[in-house]
Every structure is written in structure tokens, then in C-alpha cells.
Structure 1
């Protein structure tokens, strides 16, 4: 066996185990991962090219902010693993789907916000997101 074959085998085993933990690479999970990658790349472009990142005071790239973003995405995937295990334990098949759909919506909102900061406007969507944020923010402040 060559070193290359050993490394490929180890990577395949790790990838297979991650796939098992996530419940397989279903269409909804692939969509979530794709949206995560798009959101991360748009965030990088926003910081590197447009210098309009909301994650730093200067709006430019920060390795700390990028690292936090990656950690948040990993945490989202950990919640998917937890939801998958709950589905197995409870004998149902909807908890993982609900968690993934929630995270997909969250990623889509972030992508839309990043696009707006880049100057790509979609007025109806951006306005709807702003209204929802104000309503949720208002409820949170009143309920404290």
C-alpha cells in the first residue's frame, strides 16, 4: 500500500462516518451545505472586495471573523447530527428535516443581506426581511 492509498482510505472512512452521522447526503442537506458555502464565499467577497463586511469595524477581512463564521457553520451541522439522532431515537423522520429547513432559511437571509451590502438589490425580499427583523426585535424587547 502506498501512502496515497492510506490517506485516501482514511479520508473515505472519515467522510463515510460524517455522512452516517448526518443521516446521508439528502437533497435538503446538500442544499444547506451549498447555501453555507455560498454565504461564506459572499462574506469573503464582501470583506475582500467591497470592504463592507458587517463583522468588522473596518469592513475588511478579519481572520477571527472568518474563523467564527466557520465555527458557526460547523455548529449548525452539529445540530443536524443531533436532530438526526433524535429522529432515530424517537422513531420519527421530521426533526432533522425541520432543523435543516430552518438553517436553510437562515442561510438564505444571510445571503440576501450580503447581496444587499454588495449593491445587488431585491427590494421585495430585503424589505420583507427588514419587516420581519423589526417585528421579531420588537417582540423580544417587549417580552424582556
Structure 2
């Protein structure tokens, strides 16, 4: 499957789960707030990429996939709540609220990080907390550093080489079939 097909399948799955959540009736204000925060995170992420001149479609695509995954997790939480309600218990929305609240906080931190990287004034306490979050207890940074070699690789040349290798493999298979 290609990336586009995988994204399509995940998108259809997310739509299906969202519709089921709607039918079950467990959409609450927290889910709406989470969706709003996700939109804000996407906008601030695009602004950060523009300001820092670090646009990378792979990172953007990974972010979209993660956001779809969040809705899958919320769908799972809604399913658990539905199961508990079907046996006569009333979870009072705590499972869904707990999962959704976790992701709201996560999106809020991401928005704050994007705003800090854009250059907006962030209170020192929050800025220091963000810096500490990117370090492990021993003080070593946990950020991923892109290999400088990757910047020198020309994607078009890689695709041409890959196509040539694929052609050679096909010829080899055809020769083996003839023998």
C-alpha cells in the first residue's frame, strides 16, 4: 500500500469512528475543545515552519497521522464507555474525559512550543519548563538531530537509482523464468 492509500484507509476509519461516537452520543465539550486545539496546533506549526524556514512535508504528514491516531484513541475510550454503560454502570464520561483531557494538554504544550519557536514572548517559567521537557534527567538532550548527509541526498537521483534497480531485478526474474 502506498502512503496515500494508508492515509485514505486511516481517514475513512477516523470518519467511521467519529460517526459511531456521534451515534453513541458521547461527544462532549472536551472533544470540541480538543479539535479546536488541534486546529490551533496545525496553524501554529505552519507558522513556525514558515518563520524558521524549516518546511518538511514528512514531518507535516506524520503530524496529521498522529492527529488521526488521537481520534482513534478517543474512539476506543468512547467504546469502553459504551461497553460500561451497556452493562448498567454509569462512568459519567470520566474515561472519555480523561483521554481527551490528556490530549488537550498535549496539544496545548505543542502550541506553546510552536509559539516559542516563532519568537513570541513566553513567560520565563514556561520557557524553562519547555526546555526541561526536552532533556532527560541526566541533562542529555532528547531532540532528534537530522543527519547532515540527508541534506546532500537528491531525492530525484534516489528515485532514478531505485527505478533502475527495480528494472534490473525484473529483468533478472524474467531470465530466471525462461530458464
Normalised TM-score (structure 1) = 0.70
Partner of 1:101: 101
* Alpha-carbon distance, 1:87 to partner: 1.1
* Alpha-carbon distance, 1:25 to partner: 3.8
Does residue 137 of structure 2 align to residue 130 of structure 1? no
* Alpha-carbon distance, 1:27 to partner: 1.2
Q: Secondary structure at the match of 1:113?
A: helix
Instruction: Report if aligned partners of 2:18, 2:75 keep a CA contact under 8 Å in 1.
Output: no
CA distance in 2, matches of 1:67, 1:33: 18
Partner of 2:31: 29
Two-structure CA RMSD over aligned residues (Å): 2.6
CA distance in 2, matches of 1:69, 1:16: 20
Unmatched 5+ stretches in structure 2: 1-13, 86-90, 141-179
Instruction: Report if aligned partners of 1:19, 1:25 keep a CA contact under 8 Å in 2.
Output: no
* Alpha-carbon distance, 1:41 to partner: 1.1
2:75 to 81, 85, 95: 81
How big is each residue's C-alpha offset from its partner over 1:39-69, in whole Å with a ceiling of 9 and x where there is no partner?
A: 1111111112x12xxxxxxx52122111111
How big is each residue's C-alpha offset from its partner over 1:62-107, in whole Å with a ceiling of 9 and x where there is no partner?
A: 2211111100000011100000111111232211100000000000
Inter-CA distance 130–62: structure 2 relative to 1 (3 Å threshold): closer
Inter-CA distance 77–16: structure 2 relative to 1 (3 Å threshold): closer
The higher radius of gyration belongs to: 2
Normalised TM-score (structure 2) = 0.57
How big is each residue's C-alpha offset from its partner over 1:105-129, in whole Å with a ceiling of 9 and x where there is no partner?
A: 0000111111110111222222233
Deviating 4+ runs (over 4 angstroms): 14-17
Instruction: Report if aligned partners of 2:48, 2:118 keep a CA contact under 8 Å in 1.
Output: yes
Counting matched residue pairs gives 117
Partner of 2:110: 110
Q: Secondary structure at the match of 1:138?
A: coil
